[in-house]
Chains A and B, each alone.
Chain A
Amino acid sequence: MHPENKHEKIILAPIHRVTTGDRILWSILAGLLLTGIALWVYQFIEGLGVTGLNRPVYWATYLTNFVFFIGLAHSGTFISAILRVAGQSWRAPLTRAAEAITLFSLPFGVAAILADMGRPERIFNVLFFGRYQSPLLWDFTAVGLYLLSSMVFFYLSLLPDIALCRDRLTDVPQWQQKMYRVLALGWQGTPEQFHRLERVLDGMAIFMTMLVVTVHTVVSWVFGMTVQPGWHTALIGPFFLLGAILSGTAAVVIVLSILRKVYNLEKALPVKLFNSLRKLLITFTLGWIYMIIAEYLTAGYGNMTEEMHVVQDKFTGDYALLFWGMVVLVFILPLLIFIFKGKNNIGWMVFASVLINIGMWIERYIVLVPTQVSPRLFHEMAHAKYFPSIVEIMITVALFAGMALLYTVFTRFFPIIPLWETAEELPTGELSHQPATTQG
């Protein structure tokens, strides 16, 4: 390795140092992922009878995962694109870690949909017999475009750093050098290349901001466009969107703190970055409780029979523990921690962020399942039951393991902090090869 300054040395250090610990972690994660794939094959052969799904509950744990992963994916776009549009330069060191969450969580969101389908090959019917009347097709278009755009946005912002790896990391294995050579696309780091890259990233940031709003709104409309209690509300779009940005930003805090600790990136990821994220999280947490109150006060005040079945189920019935647990995990505890303990304390910040993400997964579950247990028309006749089977639980674990596997492997082969973007933030003289960028 031939880094040309201290900043490069710190950020490039984790690359080319695959440790025994990495191999053990990757093996465990790969094992969990393979177990999930094996169980999915078993489910495909045996049918959805091996899950807890049954009439009238068709969408439960798998769809909860779908909504949750799409929500996590919003972290990258929020941190990178929206804050870029807003001209927030402090976001620079966080962007790649956040964008990587987007990139590696979206495929597992899509995989959750496939797991929910008894006949997954019928996904192609969307293309062959697509009918634009259906919100599912809106979803397919929006999520497909979001995945594609996120990949391009991620790759383009990574391009100068891949070229840097190509030029600096000359002592890594041949295959790795070849990978950098191919992926760098002959990048030379000329001022004109940087100028064009900045222009495209600025333009894409605006487009990505629109996409992030569209995608989660459309995801919510899959539920909202059905005339079901708890789902058929105009608030469901912004509610899903805000929840997505909240869980995504909390996920960024968790990932950054792990990277900071494991890869010794304390200088590159100072505590003040976490303090900025803390302020964002306080805002989003308050926004989330506002949405909850607006949603349930409207439903409760209306006192419509079918709505009240679902509301009562959540407030005092079978789902009360989950519902109030969710309020404690997403709102009460994190807010107290952020206000009284979180400032300058990464450990407390991470703890609150973990609570938020557990709570947000429960929130997705709470939105989906109680409505189907007491759906419109059916609620007069009976009260259905749903509990996830071991197959659903293990496939869920596999989805999270798969995402973590891709993420941890990525951080060992590519710089997780954007060198060319953070170089601009350093004082002159600390860098010998500062990229000659111009603002587009």
Chain B
Amino acid sequence: MDIGNLVYAFFNNPGPGGVVVVTVLGLACVIYYFLTRWIVYGGKGK
């Protein structure tokens, strides 16, 4: 597998950049959702 070509394709093709943006923001949403849930559930049921 040619890593150089892969890196070149990532930076030079329209599309992969958008996937990165959506992944970063989507992942952040998921993490923040679970953090908020974890905080709010603290001490409940004890």
Contacts and interface: CB of A to CB of B under 8 A. Distances in A.
Interface of A: 126-134, 137, 140-141, 144-145, 148-149, 152, 155-156, 159, 185-188, 190-193, 195-197, 200
Contact of A193 (B28, B32, B43): B43
Nearest to A142: B24
B40 A145 contact: no
B36 A131 contact: no
A182 to B, nearest CB: 13
B12 A129 contact: no
Given A131-B16, A132-B17, A195-B42, 11 more contacts: A126-B21, A130-B18, A137-B20, A141-B20, A141-B24, A144-B21, A159-B40, A185-B40, A188-B44, A190-B46, A192-B46
Nearest to A149: B28
B29 A133 contact: no
A159 B41 CA distance: 13
B39 A156 contact: yes
16 contacts: A126-B17, A126-B18, A128-B15, A130-B17, A131-B15, A131-B17, A132-B10, A132-B17, A145-B24, A145-B28, A148-B29, A149-B28, A152-B36, A192-B42, A197-B42, A200-B38
Contact of A140 (B21, B36, B44): B21
B19 interface: yes
A128 B25 contact: no
Nearest to A155: B36
A26 B25 CA distance: 33
B11 A132 contact: yes
Contacts of A132: 10-11, 16-17, 20
Contacts of B17: 126, 130-134, 137
Nearest to A184: B40
Contact of A188 (B10, B38, B43): B43
A130 B12 CA distance: 9
Nearest to B11: A133
Nearest to B39: A196
Contacts of A126: 17-18, 21
A193 B21 contact: no
Q: Which 9 A-B pairs give the minimum distances between C-beta atoms?
A: A130-B17, A130-B18, A190-B43, A192-B43, A129-B14, A132-B17, A192-B42, A193-B42, A196-B42
B21 A130 contact: yes
Contacts of B36: 152, 155-156, 185
A129 B15 contact: yes
A128 B15 CA distance: 6
A221 to B, nearest CB: 15
A155 B33 CA distance: 12
A190 B18 CA distance: 42
B38 to A, nearest CB: 6
A137 B25 CA distance: 13
Nearest to A144: B25
Contacts of B25: 141, 144-145, 148
A253 B1 CA distance: 57
A125 to B, nearest CB: 8
B40 A137 contact: no
A159 B42 CA distance: 13
Contact of B21 (A127, A190, A200): A127
A193 B22 contact: no
B5 interface: no
B15 to A, nearest CB: 6
B29 A127 contact: no
Contacts of A185: 36, 40
Nearest to B32: A152
Nearest to A151: B32
Nearest to A187: B40
Nearest to A186: B40
Contacts of B11: 131-133
Contact of A130 (B15, B42, B46): B15
A141 B40 contact: no
A182 B28 CA distance: 23
A192 B35 CA distance: 14
A131 B13 contact: yes
Nearest to A189: B43
A296 B15 CA distance: 39
Contact of B28 (A128, A148, A186): A148
A148 B32 contact: yes
Contacts of B20: 130, 132, 137, 141
